[in-house]
Structure 1
Amino acid sequence: MAISSIGSTPGVGTADRNMESTGLDLQSLLKIILTQLTYQDPLKPVDNFEFVSQLAQFTSMEQSRQMTDKLDSLLSLQSSNQTVGLLGRNVDVTTDTSTVSGVVKSVSFQGTQPQLTIETADGQFLTNATLSQIAAVR
């Protein structure tokens, strides 16, 4: 007996979500449950409560993953806002060889990582400074 695919499930993204970290997506879980129902022993049927429990656990796990993704996005936005707030401020930046003081002149983003350009008191520009290099803000 052939089992056809379930198709798309409303409300579940497919293209942009990478579910490799959890191992299964909703589509795979539904296929497993359908296969279990199809091939179960009629003399020993599986309790429906078990299937509902599995779906509830998966839903809870998926909601936790979505909340984690949204919190990561929120933290990234907060970092961006804090970085933009450094414009025009005096900062001390630790480099490989010394600590440099100067004014933040511009902020750019390389991916999600902010890059600062700092003008020192003698007119030199320090480019591509990161937030982790900032020792003090005045």
Structure 2
Amino acid sequence: MAVDFIGGASSQLQNTVVQQSALGQEEFLRILLAQLQFQDPLKPLDNQEFLAQMAQFSSLAQTSQINERIDTLLTIQATTQSIGLIGKTVEVQTTSLPAVGTVTSLAFSEGQPNLTIRTADGELLTGIRLSQVSVVR
């Protein structure tokens, strides 16, 4: 899940790393199973090698859990950031021009915070993502 932050930074890169870790874990299991299937019955896998591989697998599983927890923390941080913007004047990048206004409300769509901003001329801008906020005044 990509989490937006003020100024356009996002966790897309982190998601790529998480996907690569998951792929690495699947590949590791395939290699381990193939190794066990095709081992020479007269020369079974050495216990130390097997334990080392199991330790690597355990490390991969723990890394995946850490990545999930970091994702949760990023979501909480984005929520906290967006709540802190209510009542503040912000400059946002819209499809046409940058706009300046006051954040009046906050809604969540697909787990992502979306801001509603009232400009000086009374226009309401809805569905503004945190990544669109360039300046907080």
Same fold, TM-score > 0.5, yes or no: yes
Q: Structure 2 CA distance, aligned partners of 1:73 and 1:25?
A: 26
- After TM superposition, give the deviation of residue 24 of structure 1 in Å: 2.8
Q: Which has the larger radius of gyration?
A: 1
| 1:90 aligned onto 2:95 | no
- After TM superposition, give the deviation of residue 25 of structure 1 in Å: 9.1
Normalised to the residue count of structure 2, the TM-score between the two structures is 0.71
Q: Structure 2 CA distance, aligned partners of 1:23 and 1:46?
A: 20
1:121 is matched with which residue? Answer: 120
Task: Give the aligned residue type for 2:124.
Answer: F
Q: Which runs of 4+ in 1 moved over 3 A?
A: none
Preserved CA contact (<8 Å) 2:25 2:60: no
Task: Give the aligned residue type for 1:131.
Answer: L
Greater share of residues in helix: 2
- After TM superposition, give the deviation of residue 23 of structure 1 in Å: 4.9
Structure 2: tracts of 5 or more residues without a match: 1-18
Name the Cα RMSD after superposition.
Answer: 2.8
Q: Structure 1 CA distance, aligned partners of 2:22 and 2:131?
A: 30
Q: Structure 2 CA distance, aligned partners of 1:89 and 1:136?
A: 10
Relative contact order (C-alpha < 8 Å, sep 6+): which is higher? 2
Name the count of aligned residue pairs.
Answer: 117
Task: Give the aligned residue type for 1:93.
Answer: V
Task: Give the aligned residue type for 1:85.
Answer: G
Structure 1: tracts of 5 or more residues without a match: 1-17
- After TM superposition, give the deviation of residue 108 of structure 1 in Å: 0.9
Normalised to the residue count of structure 1, the TM-score between the two structures is 0.71
1:24 is matched with which residue? Answer: 26
2:78 is matched with which residue? Answer: 79
